[in-house]
Amino acid sequence: MIYKRSSALFNEAKKYIPGGVNSPVRAFNAVGGDPIFVKEAKGAYLYDEDGNTLIDYIASWGPLILGHVYEPVLNAIIDKAKKGTSFGMPTEIETDLAKLAVSMVPNIDKIRFVNSGTEACMSAVRLARGYSGKDKIIKFSGCYHGHSDSFLIQAGSGAVTFGSPNSPGVTQGTAKDTLLANYNDLESVKALTSANKGEIAAVIIEPIAGNMGCIIPTEEFITGLRELCTKEGILLIFDEVMTGFRLGAGGAQEALGIPADIVTFGKVIGGGLPVGAFAARNEIMNYLAPDGPVYQAGTLSGNPLAMSAGLAMLTELNNRPEVFESLADKTEHLHEGFDNVLKTKGIPYQINRYGSMISVHFTDAPVVDFASSAKGNNETFKTYFHGMLNQGIYLPPSAFESYFLNDALSYGDLDKTIDALKKVF
């Protein structure tokens, strides 16, 4: 495929936008080449500025679970826009969406809407610290919770050391309160809790990880983590920005059968518009201003357009629970097709899948954490990514991202994708 116009647009963008993009993964640095500029989309397809049609496997990084330009969501936005786009005042639709979300998700009584997943996770940690009176948090290497300072931390020299900043602008003072554990390694968490007894406010985790590829927690790990947090008086925060309302109506809590103390949302809850949220039981949420002392605010939080999109999306999913099974079946079909192709190619690979999340890793060892994910052959991934793109398949331009299927994908689209893989290697 030819991408002359996309390349020209990228060169123009670089004059005015840092790196030519408003989010780094879009720049194709991990795979090489220039990013594709999209013009419009419909259903399972992207239509780029060069006139190409692409089968979409990112779905705007997860929120478009029913496909692009899904009419009930689109119509809700249009109808609401005609009545005003922003007020900075309470609206009834905020309560409508809150009530529906609380009814769908276990273990939450109240929810606060914000404008992004980053803001949701940042606020959840602040709330956990304010509620518990403790400062330190534990996060896991390879889990991404947005670009708030507390989360941009890399591993220290050992399991019981503090992390260190991995971005200029993040202070050592901030880093000292973030401890790094290894995903699927309960002993690393126990070591940190033992070395920092009574100082840890919360553990935050992607319950099914999506930012080092799709990585599934072992039952022993996730169950043990819940038990450890309960025993040590530590709040367990599930970052469900990716998994919330995608793995089922109740998200990962429901899918895994593990209750969290605080849950964060994004993506699907906004129906494709910029929305995040965090939620918990009454006794925790009542610490939040204006009821309690923990301050959080947002002028555009609860924006009526975003609320209308989220309400339309969650209403569809609540009324059509078969969507989750349909998506899981389609993802399994893709998994089996890829498996059949790749095992004949003599290339080391692993495929991880949970629900409608899936990722391919070019390594001969199981991918269970960030270290094993990082062992994947990135040169092979580049060949794979560009080979698929040249045949009209748009995959995440990074080996460390999950694919997100949408239910507008037909089995014909899936088979075309599987056939494309046959031509890559």
Which residues are annotated as catalytic? Answer: 144, 239, 267
Q: Is residue 298 within 8 Å of 132, Cβ to Cβ?
A: no
CA distance 20 to 39: 16
Specify whether the CB–CB gap between 64 and 272 falls below 8 A.
Answer: yes
Q: Which residues contact 57 (CB under 8 A, 6 or more apart)?
A: 393, 394, 395, 396, 403, 404, 405, 417
d(CA 236, CA 206): 11
Contact 45, 68 (CB under 8 A): yes
Q: Quick one: which H or E segment has residue 385?
A: helix 378-389
Tally of CA atoms within 13 A in the half-sphere of 135 that contains its CB: 6
The 3-state DSSP class for residue 33 equals coil
CB 129 within 8 A of CB 302: no
| Distance between CA atoms of residues 135 and 177, nearest Å | 6
Q: Which stretch of DSSP H or E encloses residue 278?
A: strand 276-280
* Residue 401: strand, helix, or coil: coil
| Bridge pairing between strands 262-265 and 235-240 | parallel
